[in-house]
Structure 1
């Protein structure tokens, strides 16, 4: 596999694998940690989803700045190493049980990802700009993407084991160690990078960085503060007087306005020969926002589904194997506590007064009556964060098949263009949501737990859509971007991801407001179907731009 690709690919593959090991280990336990009433922060579903959405949104917003600094000043190597070290430190601090420390740790991860993520993706693309590798760029990004998911698959097993054996803090520390290993692997491959890691410098016609700070970054901060302070108009559906749902959501959306304006200005100020490629990329960025809004529910709503609505009980041999691997949680059933649980809000009621803390496992709330254990009986369940390994597991299995499929079509000169792949990826992703609609029906709207196979099926379908879209997005940015702003446009891809991630948090925070949970998933289906339809409408224009630039 490696022989026909640049020698740097294995190092970038392994570096990204370990970086994603750390990131997805952290994401897999993040909302569970926030909601933990004993060792966490006792947050409600809405609170944890909102913070999660804001966090992952900012994680993908900072590549705008990180890519710009790497392009013009630091180069890719320094940016990637610094970003990795910041993320590693952030993960290790995250398990310290203090809200100020949690926010500081999140800030380090947010800033670190801004330097690491866009620049390692751009560095990979630099190698495939050479003539001998040009026709293998999509394949290279698919291989790179598989590395991401190898890390995302194995990390949750380590996260579960460390959490069960030692507690949340050590699970987060394991994420930090993984990130440090990623930095070391990246440095080991330095001899293969050559001048590909060098900065491009400021090009004629580029906006000076001082102006970007003055006209983009400072306004973003100001707009964010305004969004945080404005409370909107009170109504029955907006009792807290928020504009877009919460202070953090308001602030984020307002802060994005100057950045979006900046990317729009790139199009209007571009040279004539660069205008159509930039316009094509901006169109794709806008459409894929809705994909990320639904896909990133894996760390919030679908994590919640795996935790509360999925039958995780283990017996016999499975329980013995799980115990040996330290992947089993031991729960004790308390009948009286379950009776106090309000199905739609994470609260406990006592003497008519509503209080926030919950001191019993939520797992037993929707166990069928005939399956409920004896009082104080021990029940063994697989750790709920392991459901986060289903999607990357599918990626590992399906990536070789997808690559082989497109290679087969390429040899027969029938391979679809990159925008066409993205359009079909959106359509396939929409179909995956129907699996969860069926899962809600099977569980009688959450009254009973359902098999984990519903999650497996859902992730299986959306993974095909993901493989058609996500690595193709990285590839099309590398193909169409003017050379002097490649990292900046890669930052634009991550800006679209960021906005989608925040929208994902908004969607997940509305989970408790849907009495019929199938309606939650119908909304997601509608969003993806709309995005797919829009992409198919744009295909003729996008494919024409690809042909004009001599690429597929």
Structure 2
């Protein structure tokens, strides 16, 4: 499937050696940095507006807020938001597959960028149908693009042992957070304060700028980025087309009957997608675990990896509610004035990227300092810390929830604190999870396991969607407490079983 996510040939060459550099790195890094920055600008801009637009004009909207939205309940909006995020990460796997088998990474990124831009432009057109079409296009384009940008960063270096490689990915990661930080300030402000659809259009402009500079800068990329590693044969292509058309016909007939009988509701779309988002990750892990080609040592490592996968799903289940549960609280229950200056609630969506940029160097220094003293926590301990931190963040969040129950607007500092704690957990889990995924991957699946890691996000978000669809009040103290307790217990379980998990990991630490 998504083999392009981690594919790094041993001798890829450096197309930029001897020429201009980007902070000492291949010139192509600047092209990929800007492309990812603008793609994240469009993605996080849309994410900042999504839930607020869905509830705008409805009973759950803030009194006096801009109308013109779809007037949905907060529960429905949260379910749609969670499914949307889940699909972005789920589609990263077929996105990598298309690059490996059909178009190559470079062409796949261009097509993905065009689809994302078209999606945002579709969102800029009023209407419920146009909204769902636009959202589907953005998710599809993001999946195509997300799976392959990182691959092309790897292509710029002389294999995994190139000493500049880690620094290059660090610079690239900064681009992600710069885009994520700027998007709510620009797209969020335009959409929330001027016009929703103009906000979506501004996200399209951002993606367009990223696509334009990518096309101009492709000459700086490695030749490998334009090749198709394992192209489909004519027989395989015809087989995939037949299967795709068959499933398309089945879906069309099924939903045609549902619509024709007058029984269609939004849940007919949300629930099947959310269930697929749970079934596919479990199926993929089960398929890898049951593979008889794996050695006993590889089988054992996969068993150890399942612990990290389940923990990550619980973590992202809570973390990704920043754009739904926390966004709704920021809109209705948090003061929007500081030192006499008013700001839109979408600005809170810039806080996490800001905390990442501020704290990531601190964490990098801390791990290095501890490593020199032979006291750096193991991967297992870091995961346990992350789970406890994400749980604590919701226990802290319950405090301002109670303070605002009578209509009082709480200080923005509460949300700043919640986001800070969550970011600290993220820095203990996200980069560590990426690393341990590649280390525990069986040789046969070395190129696919990063796609499996993304499926943990899909699983976590789909759980949230199903809970919301079932009527759980994600903004209620009871559900928040249950989620926080689950995360802390998961962290405690990892800590108590750390020796067992470490044993399953073999020579990986």
TM-score, shorter chain, exceeding 0.5: yes
Using structure 2 for the length normalisation, give the TM-score: 0.80
Deviations 1:338-366 (A, max 9, x none): xxxxxxxxxxxxxxxxxxxxxxxxxxxxx
Alpha-carbon distance between aligned partners in 2 of 1:223 and 1:422, rounded to the nearest angstrom:
40
Show the counterpart of 1:432.
393
2:491 is matched with 532
Structure 1 residues 545 and 18: CA distance shift in structure 2, 3 A:
farther
Give 1:284's match in structure 2, choosing from 308, 316, 319.
308
Deviation at 1:79, TM superposition (A): 1.6
User: Is the 8 Å Cα contact of residues 16 and 148 (structure 1) preserved in structure 2?
Assistant: yes
The yes-or-no answer on 1:24 pairing with 2:44 is yes
Matches within 5 A, 1:171-190: 171-187=199-215, 188=217, 190=219
Q: Structure 2 CA distance, aligned partners of 1:403 and 1:143? A: 14
Distance 1:224 1:259 in 2: 25
Match of residue 312 from structure 1: 336
Indicate the SS of the match to 2:335.
coil
Q: Which residue of 2 aligns with 1:442?
A: 403
Question: Which of 452, 456, 476 matches 1:496?
Answer: 456
Counterpart CA distance in 2 for 1:189 and 1:76 is 11
- Which position in structure 1 is the counterpart of 2:161? 132
Structure 2 residue matching 1:520: 3-state secondary structure: helix
Give the distance between the partners of 2:380 and 2:246, measured in 1 at CA: 34
**In the alignment, does 2:76 pair up with 1:47?**
yes
- Structure 1 residue 544, shift from structure 2 partner: 4.8
Q: 1:140 and 1:417, CA in 2 relative to 1: closer, same or farther beyond 3 A?
A: farther
CA distance in 2, matches of 1:509, 1:2: 47
Q: What is the aligned-residue RMSD (CA, Å)?
A: 3.7
Stretch moving more, 447-456 or 495-504:
495-504
Asked if structure 1 preserves the Cα contact closer than 8 Å seen for 2:76 and 2:468, the reply is no
- Structure 1 residue 400 corresponds to structure 2 residue 429: no
- 2:105 aligned to which of 76, 97, 100: 76
**8 Å Cα contact 2:294-2:442 kept in structure 1:** no
Report the CA distance shift for 1:411/1:186 in structure 2 as closer, same or farther (over 3 A): farther
- Aligned pair in 2 of structure 1 residues 106, 513: CA closer, same or farther (>3 Å)? closer
**1:499-514 alignment, distance < 5 Å:** 499-507=459-467, 513=473
Q: Please show how residues 85-96 of structure 1 align to structure 2 within 5 Å.
A: 85-96=114-125
Q: Residue by residue, what CA displacement relative to the aligned partner does 1:227-277 show, whole Å, maximum 9, x if unpaired?
A: 9999xxxxxxxxx999xx943443124434256324421232253344444
- Specify the alignment match of 2:60 in structure 1: none
Q: Deviations over 1:314-338 (max 9, x none)?
A: 5xx633xxxxxxxxxxxxxxxxxxx
Alpha-carbon offset, residue 479 of structure 1 = 3.9
Shift of 1:197: 5.8
Distance 1:453 1:166, change over 3 A: closer
Deviations 1:182-208 (A, max 9, x none): 2334441552434256443279xxxx7
The whole-number CA distance in structure 2 between the counterparts of 1:197 and 1:413 is 43
CA distance in 2: counterparts of 1:279 and 1:492, whole angstroms:
14
Pick closer, same or farther for the CA change 1:283–1:64 going to 2, 3 Å.
farther
Measured in 2, the distance between the counterparts of 1:250 and 1:64 equals 21
Secondary structure at the residue paired with 1:73?
Answer: helix
Equivalent pairs, count: 469
Distance in 2 (CA, whole Å) between partners of 1:92 and 1:386 is 22
Deviation sequence 1:500-535 (CA, Å, 0-9, x none): 122233455678848x93223211202212332343
Write out aligned runs for 1:102-113 (5 A): 102-113=131-142
Conserved? CA contact 1:249–1:502, under 8 Å: no
Deviation (angstroms), 1:220? 11
Task: Pick closer, same or farther for the CA change 1:313–1:253 going to 2, 3 Å.
Answer: closer
Q: Distance in 2 between matches of 1:69 and 1:89?
A: 19
Partner of 1:36: 56
User: 1:91·1:176 contact (CA, 8 Å) conserved in 2?
Assistant: yes
1:473 counterpart residue number = 433
More displaced, 190-199 or 75-84? 190-199
1:49-448 aligned at under 5 Å gives the runs 49-124=78-153, 130-133=159-162, 137=166, 141-163=169-191, 166-187=194-215, 188=217, 190-195=219-224, 198-201=227-230, 246-256=267-277, 257=279, 260-269=282-291, 271-273=293-295, 274-313=298-337, 318-319=340-341, 381-443=342-404, 445-448=405-408
Q: Cα–Cα, structure 1 residues 3 and 165, in superposed 2: closer, same or farther, change >3 Å?
A: closer
Aligned to 2:12: none
- TM-score normalised over the length of structure 1: 0.74
Deviates more, 1:104-113 or 1:4-13: 4-13
Distance 2:26 2:374 in 1: 24
Q: Secondary structure at the match of 1:60?
A: helix
Unaligned stretches of 5+ in structure 1? Answer: 231-239, 320-380
Task: Map Cα deviations across residues 417-455 of structure 1 (whole Å, 9 max, x no partner).
Answer: 445433322222111112102222333x35322111100
Tell me, in whole angstroms, the C-alpha distance in 2 between the residues paired with 1:69 and 1:424: 37
Q: Give the CA deviation at 1:83.
A: 1.1
Deviations 1:256-311, CA, capped at 9 Å, x for gaps: 42563244212322533444444444442232111111011111110000001111
Q: Distance in 2 between matches of 1:241 and 1:82?
A: 33
Q: Could you tell me how far apart the structure 1 residues matched to 2:426 and 2:244 are?
A: 31
